[in-house]
Structure 1
């Protein structure tokens, strides 16, 4: 495979970089150098590099390398590429430095019998592209690796890398890069796989892009690769026509001339035009001799050795500095560690102090709450006892004022019967009727008194209001809300039972405040015909019922005993972190 055909494709691909952050003058020169204008290189050499910024200096070195590459001074180009890479690394422009790697690798791959490993530079770029997720650099590196494996005659690997690059370029939308890949694929199918029709397919795709945005050098590469395809197909005259068109384009590259003239000599020979074949064979030799590849390889190796030595010395200096820095960092770390320990000690000490104060405040708050609950319990009992006393007084008054007068009247009636027994028949009916009325009225009075003693007033003046007031009293705004939901309490219970139920609910409510850490609690009281159902639930931290009951941690054992004494049942439904529900059933 002609060595320089491969270089043509690489140059097409790698002159598509963007340099928008640099000076306008250098950007203009870059475009002209890309077009192969030697005059731009002459202007570039006259620039005073001392006036350039660090970024512009890196670009300047890159453009000097491209100029030397175009004029076949490959050893000097190699030197400038190396210096440009170092300049980009110095300003932390790693993306550009990795592109210099690919330029260096391209240059080395085009040199015959060069001992420097060009894969080393390409693989370094690929590792960085993977790490930084630089898709454009990755696509460029894939394309370059495809070319390197093509040179190694590993065609399957070459095609694999070209296809990877093609998929990636379509994904990121870079038609100029896709054009370059099409040219590379054409080289593979032409020179390696001997499939010129496939090569022409990719060159036709490339031509559709070139007609829109192509530069002279883009037509140059397409024409020369297309001519190679026609040569393989035996269409020598079409190949000659394309090669002459390529040579007439305004694109000067000393490196590409030998390929054109050598291919022209080959095609003229195939059509028996020996005069032109001899003419272009001489031109091919003339330009090939001017390349002086052997001497350039020696210079390139010397430059590589020089930079490797410099890099080694720099590494040693950096290593010494790193050791010093590591010692400084170690001492600083020890100092920071000691300071951190002191700060941690103070934080822990302060935290424990705050915890102690918080515990004391919580204890004081709990003591206040216990006092409020105790006072409220005593007040509630006093109110109930006072209510009982008033009830007894009312019963005594009713007995004295109503039933007593009725019985006295009844007594007088019977005495009147005794005194008037002689004329009893005359008043018999009236006296019996009156006596019957008095007895009936006295009976009704006794029934009403008995009913009032057992039932009396409505429950709104007994157990439920007391529990509602308790809930209001112990609720804490913003922290704990206790709601009471009664149902079916139309009549009062026995006074002793009311007091017992009140005390049970009061103790369970106290447990909610002390232990549950709840924000909401509900007390359900339901009065059925022959039993009372009490459900107390909260949204607190919950607990394991067996552990708490075994240890009597919240007085639940005593509440359970009280419930049993009243003939009821006591059930706990609690789970850690999911709240607690207490169920009590009592017979009426």
Structure 2
């Protein structure tokens, strides 16, 4: 029973994958001992989790299994819970007659067994169906009975919502009935809006309170009492302002933290770039002898000078943006980062890559003149191979930083290219699943999503010890969902609350730039799933 409660808690925290994993574990444990009751409980929880994530087809499968196990175990109340969930699925599919049939079965059982709470829940579902069918009188009657039950057991938070729904029913009914009798149901709607506001305000539930005040404003507007309507609008706006102020304070705190981590990210990128440059220069020095030292030294000084100048420019931009609006600060940093990536990639490819190519030509010319019997021939060939390796590394680093495939062909080909290059290493089996329309994302969105995937794959290779990784890119209503999951060692998600890692901060910053949401689901030994939702405009 403790596992079921924990699953409910995880679902309330939107940790759906963890909830599913926990209930699948409970189901397997119950199956080993033939405990049909807990097999049914586990499948009910699994169906509820799928319903929360709107995966109705999976929920339907779990519901049918739950009913089967409940019947085998003779656990009637679990069967009725599963049947209620079946009604929810039918209602979502707009199969209202089927939904009412399942709700009615559950209603009869809960009435017979005097289960007040679950009866109230089922009546609310039945009222929702009647509302969809525009049977206002039936919907109101069911909602009123449901409200009485919630009041009897002290569920005043739900009671406030029921009162609001009844007020909405009366208000909409009045609208459709206004051609016959003007303002026929406004008084009833007003009574229930006032009841809803009373309970919501006393229990500090801002959303029902706000919506009830807006409903009262509409009622008085229909009565042509505009002064009273305006008063209710002012009161609802006060609630909105309080919520907005609280959200702004939270955002400012988050932006300050992002500003700090963004500075650390810039420094880390600069250090990483310097290390890569020094490594390449070191290999070049061994191969090209002392004649190229002057060129390398000039290159190093040039890079440091440009980096210092860019650092000053970025700091000045960040200071100016913070004075205007702290929330917008991170965008300038990320844009500067992308510009610097492209510039360094071009320099590596065109300048240092060109130098290495010239050196290779000279080496080839010298190689033809060295006799096979010459004892230095093998060393020369080794140096030539190291030169090829250095040139290849320059191309790879330039390719990774510039995202050439992305710039030429778009996000999907770039991800396919990344998948191929990663899989060819033999270190990780990478799978890519894409279900989005062409030209759905802007160039900036494609670039940021590609950088996000790069960072996630880098973290997996460094830390997860995974053998397989799945990347899913799906189009939803009004958003694009990116899911990256691996079968690695996982970690404790609580560590992220105090983590100061540059990679994670970079991910959060890019998601914030796209006005998206970011969720991490992991556990020790259970792999890691990262889900990111980015808002888009659907055609």
TM-score, normalised with respect to structure 1: 0.32
Q: Which has the higher contact order (CA 8 A, sep 6+)?
A: 1
TM-score, normalised with respect to structure 2: 0.35
Larger Rg: 1
